[in-house]
Amino acid sequence: MYRFLLSPRWLGALALTLVAAAVMVFLGNWQLDRYRGRTEVNERIDAGQRMAPAPLADALRAPSGGPGTVGPAPAEDKVWTRVTVTGRYDPANTVLVRGRTVDSRVGFEVLTPLVLTDGTALLVDRGWIPPAAGGATAQPSVPAAPTGDVTVVGRVHETESGAGAVARRDGLLEIRRIGVSRLAGELPYPVYGAYLLLDEQTPAADPVFKAVPVGHANNWQNFGYVVQWWLFAVMALFGYGWVARREARRAAGIGVTEAPLDRAAEPAPTASA
């Protein structure tokens, strides 16, 4: 009944179906890996918000080069670790990160290097401020950083990609994204390989600053793609089996009914003489 499946046409269709299903399963597995990775990131973000702050050295290795160099990037499991560190702000090298959105408003994030006792520096994201009157790119008036020793508590944030060029305008550095290695080349000291997203500060931070929200990765979207691709694979195999069964039943004459006679199309009988 199913011997026709050994014909070249049906063997080719089977091979194509199996390849398509395998590709769909692979894509589902790839999305599953992305789901797991994003879930781990979200779990680290949540854990970082709850944990007691640890010393900076527990999460980041100090830079060992000269001025303008950058230290090692944090290990993956150390990103979002909550740390505390004491140093002195260097307002002369404050960085404005333009085009940043908080509460649906475009403004600037303000980074100020915190210089430690050993001469190294950690970039601290002090928060978000709105632009000056005149548009989203109008340079704001940056609240003064505290003088003297400052203790900050924040979460380790890895460097961002696509930072672009660093410019200096009216005495402040400006950049589009927070590329630590890009900024380190403009600074007169070695810089840690990540920056700190400020949670708390002693003395207290200026109330003009708004905390920069941390967005969670959309891991459930990836899980939806997993289900989608695996379902497509099942549908491809089911579709092949359904078409093959229909062909077998047709060849065996099962379920085939003769078309009803169309009496109206028949010639009218003639009267006998």
Cα(218)–Cα(96) distance, integer angstroms: 28
Cα(5)–Cα(252) distance, integer angstroms: 14
What is the 8-class DSSP label of residue 147? P
Least confident of 13-17, 46-50, 192-196: 46-50
pLDDT class of 89 with cuts at 50, 70, 90: very high
Which is it for strands 150-158 and 95-102: parallel, antiparallel or unpaired? unpaired
Query: What is the predicted pLDDT for the residue at 220?
Result: 77
For the record, the structure tokens of 133 come out as 């009157």
10-14, 30-34, 192-196, 204-208 — which one is most confidently predicted on average? Answer: 192-196
Cα(249)–Cα(234) distance, integer angstroms: 23
Query: What is the predicted pLDDT for the residue at 273?
Result: 46
pLDDT exceeds 90 at position 267: no
- Average of per-residue pLDDT values in the chain: 87
pLDDT exceeds 70 at position 1: no
134 sits in the region (left: phi over 0; alpha: psi -120 to 50; else beta) called left
Distances 119 to 114, 190, 203, 246 between C-alpha atoms, Å? 10, 8, 21, 79
pLDDT exceeds 90 at position 200: yes
Distances 206 to 88, 104, 139, 223 between C-alpha atoms, Å? 16, 21, 18, 41
Cα(169)–Cα(172) distance, integer angstroms: 5
Query: What is the predicted pLDDT for the residue at 128?
Result: 95
Q: What is the pLDDT of residues 129-172, one digit of tens each?
A: 999 887 887 889 899 999 999 999 999 999 998 888 888 888 88
Query: What is the predicted pLDDT for the residue at 159?
Result: 92
pLDDT class of 48 with cuts at 50, 70, 90: confident
What is the 8-class DSSP label of residue 189? S
Q: What is the pLDDT of residues 94-127, one digit of tens each?
A: 999 998 999 889 999 999 999 999 999 999 999 9
Query: What is the predicted pLDDT for the residue at 271?
Result: 57
pLDDT exceeds 60 at position 268: yes
Query: Which residues have CB under 8 Å from 121's CB, separation 6+?
Result: 87, 90, 113, 114, 115, 187, 189, 190, 191, 192
pLDDT above 90 as % of the chain = 56
Query: What is the predicted pLDDT for the residue at 245?
Result: 85
Closest by CA to 2, choosing from 265, 263, 241, 266, is 241
pLDDT exceeds 80 at position 60: yes
Q: What is the pLDDT of residues 212-242, one digit of tens each?
A: 888 777 777 888 989 999 999 999 999 988 8
Query: What is the predicted pLDDT for the residue at 152?
Result: 96
Query: What is the predicted pLDDT for the residue at 82?
Result: 94
Using CA atoms of 92, 96, 97, 102 in order, give the dihedral in degrees to the nearest 10.
130
Which is it for strands 150-158 and 82-89: parallel, antiparallel or unpaired? antiparallel
Closest by CA to 210, choosing from 107, 114, 88, is 107
* Mean pLDDT computed over 187-201: 95
pLDDT exceeds 60 at position 258: no
pLDDT exceeds 70 at position 266: no
